[in-house]
A and B are shown apart, each in its own frame.
Chain A
Amino acid sequence: EIVLTQSPGTLSLSPGERATLSCRASQSVSSSSLAWYQQKPGQAPRLLIYGKVSRATGIPDRFSGSGSGTDFTLTISGLEPEDFAVYYCQQYGSSPLTFGGGTKVEIK
């Protein structure tokens, strides 16, 4: 099973700042099969990025994904008030699919 480790656990930033979230895999993730989700309190997760770099429908271009092999990054280029939430990475290149433990982006 591929273990995904997200860091930092919490990121304290101000609106307008750039957020860089890391997701490290215990083994190489094949075929760039890496997704990112956003979850707000009391809500279901929302798909942001799939295929490592492709934005899901309706996701603004301030969200971008990058990386390869075992190291992946979600970047939010300028935080909007609605971006403060918890973010999860997920790999789907190997069974079972697995999620990272999450990074909370909070207002500084």
Chain B
Amino acid sequence: EVKLSESGGGLVQPGGSLRLSCEGSGFTFSNYATSWVRQAPGKGLEWVSAISGSATRTDYADSVKGRFTVSRDNSKNTLFLQMNSLRAEDTAVYYCAKDQRPWLWSPGDLYFDLWGRGTLVTVSS
């Protein structure tokens, strides 16, 4: 079964840090660019960051640039999102999602055929 599974969410104070993980299974993880997409409570979808399959290229939304870092360990089929200097407006369910097309990387040129179930990040004092 092809699957993505996120973990690492929780409650954190403003200014704090959190690291999310996303494990892929059932497909060749390293072949696909992967993204983080978030959804604030009751709101729509917002793309956060992306990383190429080879882990050599990354891209970020302006809202998180300089605070969040995306990385991946293809030997463990795992994607990460290191989130620093967290703000209340970062409160959301964070989904990892893979691009449908293998071996492709072009900033912005991503659409997602597989999503995880999401992990909730709450930034509050």
List 7 extra interface pairs beyond A45-B97, A99-B44, CB under 8 A.
A45-B45, A45-B112, A46-B115, A50-B111, A94-B108, A97-B111, A100-B44
Q: Which residue of B lies closest to A50 (CB)?
A: B111
Q: How large is the interface on B (under 10, 10 to 19, 20 to 34, 35 or more residues)?
A: 20 to 34
Asked if residues B112 and A99 are in contact (CB atoms below 8 Å), the reply is: no
A96 adjacent to chain B (CB < 8 Å): yes
Instruction: Give residues in A with beta carbon < 8 Å to B.
Output: 33, 35, 37, 43-47, 50, 56-57, 88, 90, 92-102
Cα separation A46 to B44 with both chains bound (whole Å)? 14
Supposing A47-B100, A97-B47 touch, asked if A92 and B111 sit within 8 A by C-beta, the answer is yes
Asked if residues A96 and B59 are in contact (CB atoms below 8 Å), the reply is: yes
Cα separation A77 to B118 with both chains bound (whole Å)? 31
The contact string, 1 if C-beta is below 8 Å from chain A, for chain B 57-69, is 0010110000000
Asked if residues A47 and B113 are in contact (CB atoms below 8 Å), the reply is: yes
Within 8 A of A (CB), among B64-111: 95, 97, 100, 107-111
Asked if residues B44 and A101 are in contact (CB atoms below 8 Å), the reply is: yes
Cα separation A50 to B115 with both chains bound (whole Å)? 15
> Among the listed B44, B61, B100, B116, which residue makes an inter-chain contact with A50, where contact means beta carbons less than 8 Å apart?
B100
Instruction: Give residues in B with beta carbon < 8 Å to A.
Output: 44-47, 59, 61-62, 95, 97, 100, 107-113, 115-118
Closest chain-B Cβ to A25's Cβ sits at a distance in Å of 14
Tell me whether chain A's interface is mostly helix, strand or loop, or mixed.
loop
Cα separation A97 to B44 with both chains bound (whole Å)? 14
Asked if residues B110 and A97 are in contact (CB atoms below 8 Å), the reply is: yes
Cα separation A92 to B111 with both chains bound (whole Å)? 7
Q: Which of A47, A88, A97, A101 has the most CB of B within 10 A?
A: A97
Cα separation A33 to B115 with both chains bound (whole Å)? 19
Cα separation A44 to B120 with both chains bound (whole Å)? 12
Q: CB-CB < 8 A to A35: which residues of B?
A: 111-112
Cα separation A21 to B101 with both chains bound (whole Å)? 26
Cα separation A94 to B47 with both chains bound (whole Å)? 13
Q: Which residue of B lies closest to A95 (CB)?
A: B108
> Among the listed B46, B97, B113, B118, which residue makes an inter-chain contact with A56, where contact means beta carbons less than 8 Å apart?
B113
